[in-house]
Structure 1
Amino acid sequence: MTVDGITVPILDASTVYDAASRAGIQIPVLCHRKGLHPTGGCGVCTVEDTTSGRLLPACATPPCEAMSILTDSPAAQQARRDALELLLSNHPADCEAPCQLACPSGLPVPQMLEAVTAGHWHEAARLACDYPVTCGNAAPCEKACRRRPMGGAVAICVLHRWLASLAPQAATGRCRPPAIPPARFRSRMPRPDEATMLALCAEPGPRRVPDVTPANFTRDCAAYEAARCMQCGCRKPDACRLRALCAETGARQSAFAGHQGTMARDRSGAFRFDAARCVLCGICVRTARLMQASIAPAFQGRGLAAHIAPPLGRSWSEIPSEILSACAEACPTGAMALVPSTDREEQKNADRPERV
């Protein structure tokens, strides 16, 4: 077999992808993961066999000596781009939250607010100190907040200033440059209806902070405002395989219009499932199967209604935590992720002096 003009020994390779990988030839994959049974469902690993004139999924096609594989032929590249754009058409989610993109210091706003909601005050203060306030009272992050027309923007600037004032010694000095490369691929959440947007918030109520001055701010105020956040951003923005592939191929989220997937979000302890980010690659299903889980994520529904969920009406909390952790680690898009769980001891101490 030849791959891109290089003779590649088949030996005991079970797929074209395996044979090429052993020869040091990289073929992009999304739904494939080492150790799991291949499916070839996403279409990202498409290659062209010039012998047969066919496009083949490299991760699921057995190799044979007569094959002459091209990994980057125009036809293969177009097939990959089409596959990715179809996935993006049903991926109504942000890579970075609008508030983070608008923040001059690059503060990871959703992470800070998530830490506050979970009662992880030290982590929230560390982020606030590592990304200092540089916008005065302009609050561009709040102007970009999707909650703005629904009860007012989350009081991000007030929280930022207040947290930084509580524990200035928490700074680590690891503040990264704020600029996000403008050419970087970014998926964007289309504007859903108000009911859907509010359903993504732990607290649908209106803003209670009148201005950007943190005077008389308390932990209760902080927890309330943080819970109003929609958590638009991805938990794996720099490790998302889908994002990297879209950047490589020039895929566009707007290429295909039509049905948009559900924007529901479920949580169990430190595990969070964001349905809008799921591309139905099945890695979580196969990972759980490999671990011989008795209750595990499964495919539900058919066609456009297909989705990942616990089986037989079960809840995510019924799936063992080690299974959920393994699935979150394996997920290539951030649909499954580990997030800060509520620190009950810190919550109990919420009425103690306002000092972290």
Structure 2
Amino acid sequence: MVHLKINNNEVEVEEGTTLIHAARAMGIEVPTLCYWEGVRPMNSCMLCVMRDSNTGLLHPSCSTVAQEGMDIETDSGDVCEARKDVLELTISEHVGDCEAPCTHTCPASMNIPVMMRQIYEGDLDGAAYTVTNGLVFPGTLGYVCPAPCQSPCRRKSYDQTMEIKLLHREVSEKALIDNPELLDCPEDTGKKVAIIGGGLCGMSSAWVLRKKGHACTVFEKEAKAGGKVRALTEEELPKGVLDAEIDFIERLGVKFECGTEINGNGDLEAILSEYDSVIVACKGVAKPGGKIFEAKEHKLDVRAVGNGKTTGLWVDKYLKSVEIKPEPKLFDSKYGKLDKKNLSKLLENKTALDIPTIEGDLVDARVEAGRCLHCDCRKRVSCGLRKWASDYGAEKKKYFASETPDVRILGSGNVILEPGKCIRCGLCVAIAEKHGEDIGLTFANRGFDMEIRVPFDHSFDDALKKSAAECVEACPTAAIAFRNVEDVQSCHTTTLIKLTR
């Protein structure tokens, strides 16, 4: 047995145990990008380094065997700074979008690219789930939203922007109202929330909270809920669209008390005594504080929905006695504006599709959705580089590579490779070797020009007949991926989805 210290704790391990295994056995989280169980240590990312205070040296813990008398620090200041430097050097030449430009500019944070792929694959029920999670009122916003998400669409500089607004409207009309799965809610929590103000903002808060299992009642002074969009003309917004979506929220279990104006301390005190929390989604009723929260209406209807959703999530935390604080800021890699050369390369791997003919407000939905370039990452939730860069506060612009890789997507089959996202960890090469692939993968070139290649110009599908699934799972950045598999996150769940025609 070998005796050593890890973070000032006396530890005894078997001979041959690596530092990473010794630390993880103690419950210590050790960051890695190039380490994978069952594969020889690659020693390429150096993110797992630990410091031996006896010598002052940093060691890659994935390959360093524990030695008698070591005094190991796993998260001291020196160790964390070294890891941060590693991450900042790595991301300086990382080329790829974590989130698509359209998602960045949607005030309600809808996962637009996933909606596109679900429509293209003919999964309207899945698309209905996505647009409802994102917009709450996808049909109404399909008429009144100014569609800020369409402005940064990369297709705009090639042919024309994606018709996102018309697509989520069409999904709403075809699949939303008759989709019973969208009415599923968790078991009631026993908590009651009053929402004062029945505009899109207040109703969005109610939708989020009901989906969390809380009982919700919306108080609206007018005869019908809807707020300012209720005043729009039939041409601007058919009333049947708004009414159907409000009816859907009622079927979810939200109660509406219309024609009920809440004024003065007396009305408010009565509500405060009956409900566990109150959301004020209109002006002049009460200031936020204690169990009163404010959901700000906005002249931009989609922004009002986003504000309502955010307030709903805050109140859910309050009801669960969870500290209310801003969500941690995630590292967010961006392509930025692509020049014609790189845009053309991004389009090379995309099936050529004609621009659909738009007659009035009708869109050939699957053809239009098929034009989406899949700008977002296939591991936007589980990407190792994103996680550790976020945790260590790595700065994207700390270092600048003299040359960054071009935007490319290689592979015409089920397995694809994006060289700009590859950190050259070597895991896919080693995993293919472990599985005894006839072709496998290899490193080509040297130094900064080194990249992963398939030997002899074979396809990735041919190269990874046995090991593709493990290579995709192990890849820390989704540089190597299945074309139609990705992880996605809604406000309720994180799941792996497979999009297959």
Q: For the superposition of Structure 1 and Structure 2, which TM-score range results when normalised by the shorter chain? A: 0.7 to 0.9
Once residues 427 and 454 of structure 2 are traced to their aligned partners in structure 1, the CA distance between those partners, rounded to angstroms, is: 14
User: Structure 1: which 5+ runs fail to align?
Assistant: 347-356
Cα distance, 1:120 vs structure 2: 4.9
Match for residue 56 of structure 1 among 56, 59, 76: 59
TM-aligned CA distance change 1:107 to 1:214, over 3 Å? farther
- Are residue 319 (structure 1) and residue 466 (structure 2) matched? no
1:95-123 CA-partner distances (Å, limit 9, x unpaired): 11111122234332222223444555554
Cα distance, 1:268 vs structure 2: 4.5
Aligned to 1:237: 380
How many corresponding residue pairs?
340
> Which has the larger displacement, 243-252 or 118-127?
118-127
- Are residue 309 (structure 1) and residue 453 (structure 2) matched? yes
TM-aligned CA distance change 1:172 to 1:338, over 3 Å? farther
1:239-296 CA-partner distances (Å, limit 9, x unpaired): 1111110111110111111221232112454333222222112222222222222222
If you compute each CA radius of gyration, which structure gives the higher value, 1 or 2? 2
1:118-159 CA-partner distances (Å, limit 9, x unpaired): 555554455345544247231111012223333232222222
CA contact (8 A) 2:345 2:407 kept: no
CA contact (8 A) 1:10 1:65 kept: no
- Are residue 188 (structure 1) and residue 358 (structure 2) matched? no
CA contact (8 A) 1:38 1:60 kept: yes
1:221-251 CA-partner distances (Å, limit 9, x unpaired): x42x334322111111111111110111110
SS at match of 2:171: helix
CA contact (8 A) 1:8 1:20 kept: no
Aligned to 1:145: 153
Once residues 343 and 10 of structure 1 are traced to their aligned partners in structure 2, the CA distance between those partners, rounded to angstroms, is: 45
Cα distance, 1:190 vs structure 2: 3.1
Once residues 6 and 49 of structure 2 are traced to their aligned partners in structure 1, the CA distance between those partners, rounded to angstroms, is: 13
- Map 1:247-286 onto structure 2 (within 5 A): 247-258=390-401, 259-286=403-430
Q: Partner letter of residue 331 of structure 1?
A: C
Cα distance, 1:92 vs structure 2: 1.4
Once residues 171 and 104 of structure 1 are traced to their aligned partners in structure 2, the CA distance between those partners, rounded to angstroms, is: 27
TM-aligned CA distance change 1:248 to 1:97, over 3 Å? same
1:271-322 CA-partner distances (Å, limit 9, x unpaired): 3322222211222222222222222232222111111221222111313444
Once residues 18 and 369 of structure 2 are traced to their aligned partners in structure 1, the CA distance between those partners, rounded to angstroms, is: 48
Once residues 251 and 91 of structure 1 are traced to their aligned partners in structure 2, the CA distance between those partners, rounded to angstroms, is: 13
SS at match of 1:47: strand
Aligned to 1:27: 30
User: Structure 2: which 5+ runs fail to align?
Assistant: 185-206, 209-305, 311-325, 486-497
Aligned to 1:349: none
Q: Percentage identity across aligned positions?
A: 29
> Which has the larger displacement, 145-154 or 70-79?
145-154
Aligned to 1:354: none
The two structures have a TM-score, normalised by structure 2, of 0.61
CA contact (8 A) 1:155 1:209 kept: no
